[in-house]
Structure 1
Amino acid sequence: MNAFILGLLFLITFPNEQVSAQKYAFVSVLSSNDFLIPAKVLAYRLKKLNSSIPYIIIVTQDITEYSINELKQQGVIVRNDTKIDTPYIKTHKARKYQYTKIRLWAMTEFDVIVHLDLDILPTRDISTLFECGSFCASFRHSDMFNSGVFVLKTNETVFHDMEQHVASAESYDGGDQGFLNTYFSDLKFAPMYDPNKAPHTCENYSMNRLSAQFNYDIGMYYLNNGRLLVDPAIFHYTLGPTKPWLWWTYPIFDLNWMWLDARQEMEQGSSADFDTCVSLATTNCLLIVSLLVIKLVIERFVVNVISTRSVSSIETHLVSQSIYLFSMWFALKLAHPSAQPVAAWVFFTSNLAWTTSILTAIYTRLRSGFDVKIQSIISCVFFTMLCYALAWLIVLQISHFNTRVLTAIFFILAQQILIVMFIRHSLIVKPSRQQTHKYQILPNNHYVA
């Protein structure tokens, strides 16, 4: 009797000991070192919003040890694995075309997993997703769901079945998203998951659709002229050329500022930003010195074998435009894509200005035989950087997206016209006129005192 009473008291005191808690995890796949910074930002964000749930990143064979160590410093659990190539690899060779995500079903040490692409930003705790069902995903634009965010209950039998169907199941996009849409084709008939109702359990193996708030496509925001149709718990930066870690997307795409705030908060107190600025400044100085040395060498030693005193206006216009466009391409290549936007814009503009100005001065020396003073080059650099700075600040103040885009396009075209005209006049036309008339004989009716 005493043993029975003690056992009853134990059950009353520790009622949860008889039922093991569900084991949850957030999981992503990293197959390119280019996505290291967004992976670190996502890890920081998840830890800040809910530190009790582990975040695991499956890294494939393409990832360097440096990237792995950086992830571990953010508290990420790194799991090495091999990439599962798409059966359509002959026509889909990019890294994004793969089936590695199906490995999540084999991670049976966890009961429920929320998969997250690395180009997302949670705005609040998303742990409620673990209660949605055995498989949940969000539909956007069509009856095909997006695999950037989905929930699954692990099951090794399902994983092996997926492996057997990899080669035979259709994939409309050649990647995992198309495969999963084929495998879970009935999801479009499933009910919508409501996180405000009583918690679901995954034991019933039910599928549920997720609201757009759990996978909000930023494209919808921009198509609606900068208006949110829902209150997003997750922003998904789906527009390829406008990813928030790419510096040239600022200041046009305003949702990118939210991601940038998270990045700056993550890097606060570290030397990453300072080191990047030092690297950019050093590269900029080396470029300027190299170009100036080339200019001085040409002025000192190169014989003007192709020079002529009469150069057509059409030629100078075409050459000026070509030099400007080449300098823009060259400056873009030098800037690191994921550098901080303000530092990267200053670096890009400085490189563009110096390259355009010095190359134009070299053209004037080789084509016309006239030397261009360094003061003229500096004035062109200052004018170019001023034009870009004013355009950037004006675009930044415009709140409506459509107006902001149109204004940016106008400035891009206007800047090219104004800058090229100014540089052409300062470095081609003006030096030619000055040195042509420098030793001109005065007319007979003028007398030198």
Structure 2
Amino acid sequence: MNVFIIGLLFLLVIPEVSPQKYAYVSVLSSNDFLVPAKTLAYRLKKLNASIPYIIIVTQDITQNSIEQLKEQGVIVHNDTKIDTPYIATHKARKYQYTKIRLWAMTEFDVIVHLDLDVLPTRDISTLFKCGSFCAVFRHSDMFNSGVFVLKTNETVFHDMVEHVQTAESYDGGDQGFLNTYFKDLKFAPMYDPTGKQPICENFTMRTLSATFNYDIGMYYLNNGRLLVDPDIIHYTMGPTKPWLWWTYPLFDLNWMWLDARQEMEQGSNAELDTSIALAATNCLLILFLIILKLILEHFVVNMTTDTVSNVETHVVSQAIYLFSVWFSLKLAHQSAQPVAAWVFFASNTAWTATILTSIYTKLRSGVDVKVKSVLSCVTFTMLTYALSWLILVQISHFNTRVLFAILSILAQQFVVVTYIRYALIVRPCRQQIHKYQILPNNHHVA
């Protein structure tokens, strides 16, 4: 009985220790990053559903985007963007200081910040125990702000706000500012998630291993070889982001991100809706080109000539093809599913180049191009794209893949343009000449 009473008194006297509150937090300031935000939300929930994921959305984000985030279980915090003091020379949306708002989120004890272009490969909740501020040094004595850990503190937040206008930023954005503010992090010991290494009491900050922020640039510089087994992959290379359809199949690490996206969209009609929208757009484009052909051939009649130089036909054919490629790239939504987008792009390029070339032939030579010739050019162009894509996806070494991609683009430019020029300009004009040569001595017949 005495033991029970002593134990009860002990529980009453010792204060209850509440568990720490953790959260993953990102910042969204452009609707272009909606798909990666939803994909990251899905992956975090799949790896550890007990930790909330919060996205700070700025005034640039539409209500529709916010609703889509909430459907993925994201907790949305609306806030205003903190512009960089270097905004006069750094106008891009990525140049901002909004990330410092994380220190003011004192409803949580520890926050792991994640840029929207990262992909966790396993549960990363061990990061919450690393220290007061933790980040990864990669290429120099500057750390990357794509992934970092912090303990919230309003005093630190207000101090940061006071230093925004005066502290240097080597890149004009939050990464440069944070490197200035936490300049002593480079001297801190590395965090050991296993807990086997002794803890250094002189530092509350810790550096993180590259496994927690693996730069894909290192992968490609090493001919497609992983130097570590990454916990977090960071897709740092701007033009090669994994939600951009044209990066497939050249950048093979993007397939890992695409798997996560397809898991996220499984059971929804997102992929089907996108494919239908692309097909409808393609049909509308073909219809528009046909109508344009009929209008131009009917109203423009003063360009016809008896002799068209080879130089002119070569230049015009190249120009039409390059325009068709550029136009088709602009027409395809950048975050469409890669296979559907590539089919859409190839089809648009083929139809645009073919119909515009047939218009040129009619206006300059007065020759009608047969539908059969148009269809053969469309088919040939699409088959060359399909063949290049299928070969590229089978090449395992990155350097070899890049070399083949470059040669393929050059060869495609030559082969496709040559075929279209012959099928739609040279051969129809020759057939027209031969048609009139059957008249004896080219004499005028009344």
Normalised to the residue count of structure 2, the TM-score between the two structures is 0.95
Q: CA 1:173–1:373 in structure 2 vs 1: closer, same or farther (change >3 Å)?
A: same
Q: CA 1:367–1:162 in structure 2 vs 1: closer, same or farther (change >3 Å)?
A: same
Name which of 150, 162, 179 aligns with 2:160: 162
Shift of 1:15: 12
Name which of 380, 384, 388 aligns with 1:387: 384
In structure 1, distance between residues paired with 2:49 and 2:354? 52
Shift of 1:304: 2.3
Could you give the per-residue CA deviations for residues 103-136 of structure 1, whole angstroms, max 9, x where no partner exists? 1001111110000000000000000000100000
Matched position secondary structure for 1:108:
coil
Shift of 1:201: 9.6
Q: CA 1:16–1:323 in structure 2 vs 1: closer, same or farther (change >3 Å)?
A: farther
Shift of 1:293: 1.9
In structure 2, distance between residues paired with 1:82 and 1:225? 42
Could you give the per-residue CA deviations for residues 26-50 of structure 1, whole angstroms, max 9, x where no partner exists? 0000000000000000000000000
Q: CA 1:129–1:10 in structure 2 vs 1: closer, same or farther (change >3 Å)?
A: farther
Q: How does 1:95-244 map to 2 (within 5 A)?
A: 95-197=93-195, 206-244=204-242
Matched position secondary structure for 2:54:
strand
Shift of 1:303: 4.7
Could you give the per-residue CA deviations for residues 343-386 of structure 1, whole angstroms, max 9, x where no partner exists? 00000000000000000000000111111011101000000000
In structure 1, give the amino acid aligned to 2:59. Q
Matched position secondary structure for 1:192:
coil
In structure 1, give the amino acid aligned to 2:420. I
In structure 1, distance between residues paired with 2:273 and 2:188? 50
Aligned pair count reads: 441
Q: How does 1:31-430 map to 2 (within 5 A)?
A: 31-197=29-195, 206-299=204-297, 301-430=298-427
In structure 1, distance between residues paired with 2:116 and 2:10? 44
Matched position secondary structure for 2:135:
strand
Q: CA 1:199–1:57 in structure 2 vs 1: closer, same or farther (change >3 Å)?
A: farther
Check whether the contact 1:130–1:151 (CA below 8 A) recurs between aligned residues.
yes
Matched position secondary structure for 1:438:
helix
The sequence identity of aligned pairs, in percent, is: 76
Q: CA 1:15–1:261 in structure 2 vs 1: closer, same or farther (change >3 Å)?
A: farther
- Gaps in structure 2 of 5+ consecutive residues: 442-446
In structure 2, give the amino acid aligned to 1:91. T
Check whether the contact 2:188–2:203 (CA below 8 A) recurs between aligned residues.
no
In structure 2, give the amino acid aligned to 1:316. T
Check whether the contact 2:109–2:151 (CA below 8 A) recurs between aligned residues.
yes
Q: CA 1:202–1:328 in structure 2 vs 1: closer, same or farther (change >3 Å)?
A: farther
In structure 1, give the amino acid aligned to 2:380. F
In structure 1, distance between residues paired with 2:299 and 2:10? 95
- Gaps in structure 1 of 5+ consecutive residues: 445-449
Whether 2:12 is the aligned partner of 1:8: answer: no
Matched position secondary structure for 1:133:
coil
In structure 2, give the amino acid aligned to 1:298. L
Matched position secondary structure for 1:148:
strand
